[in-house]
Chain A
Amino acid sequence: MFHCDVVDVTKNKITLEKAQAFIESHKCGASLFFIGTVRDNNNDKTVTGITYDSHDGMVKKSFEEIFDEANKTLQLQHPVAFVEHAKGYVPLGGISVVIAVACKHRAQVYEFSRYIIEEIKKRTPIWKKEHYINEETSWLDGKKIEAK
């Protein structure tokens, strides 16, 4: 079972309650939540928030591919995952991404969660514009995407 979405945070919220409700399963004995939040400092600059931009169609496709790959590569038993990423302005401390996973046994949820976030960082078309205390902003450098 898999749910993913890009959440326009000017209209909706990413909530842990929704993630918890989705991953609950009597077949799973372990669940794990990864929560990405906006921190206050990057490259010696005081960060007040981040605006996330997203190519929604590619992002959802990428999330689905990552889930399928994780399932095959890690040979997961009863995998369940909930992935939501923010789009729009997220203030300091706000949630940028939630990855909630559940599996039959505990060892797999750690691998599963880690696999998803690392692959998102490598290939999912999401961009960050940091906002600083002096009201300056800067798009962060990223990783070039190549055609398959």
Chain B
Amino acid sequence: MKIKIELFGAARDFANDNILELKIENQTNIKGIRENLLQWLQKKHPNNSTYSNIVKNSAFCDENNEIVHDDYLVSKEQKLCIIPPIGGG
């Protein structure tokens, strides 16, 4: 199935669009989505450690604006947001 990942902060530099589409297996958890995104980055921006570190240090939030745990299972086509380390104010 396909899911969408909306990009924020430094992750916006991953692509021209602010939303990526990833193909994942049904019942993939956030840890798996992170791996999937790292593989996508390796194809799109080979060996870019800055980008891969952003993904490794990011959280993900669901459509209810809640940060989800690494074991959260994605079982339907939905949109997640990548939330890189924050620093506003």
Contacts and interface: CB of A to CB of B under 8 A. Distances in A.
Contacts, number: 86
Contact of B86 (A57, A97, A125, A147): A125
Interface of B: 8-10, 12-13, 57-59, 61, 65-70, 81, 83-89
A129 B12 CA distance: 11
25 contacts: A54-B88, A55-B8, A55-B61, A55-B81, A58-B65, A61-B65, A121-B88, A121-B89, A124-B88, A124-B89, A125-B9, A125-B88, A126-B88, A127-B10, A128-B87, A139-B9, A139-B10, A141-B85, A142-B87, A143-B85, A143-B86, A145-B67, A146-B67, A147-B69, A147-B70
B89 A142 contact: no
Interface in A109-148: 117, 120-121, 123-129, 139-148
Given A53-B9, A53-B12, A142-B84, A120 B89 contact: yes
A127 B68 contact: no
Interface residues of A, number: 31
Nearest to B30: A147
A144 B85 contact: yes
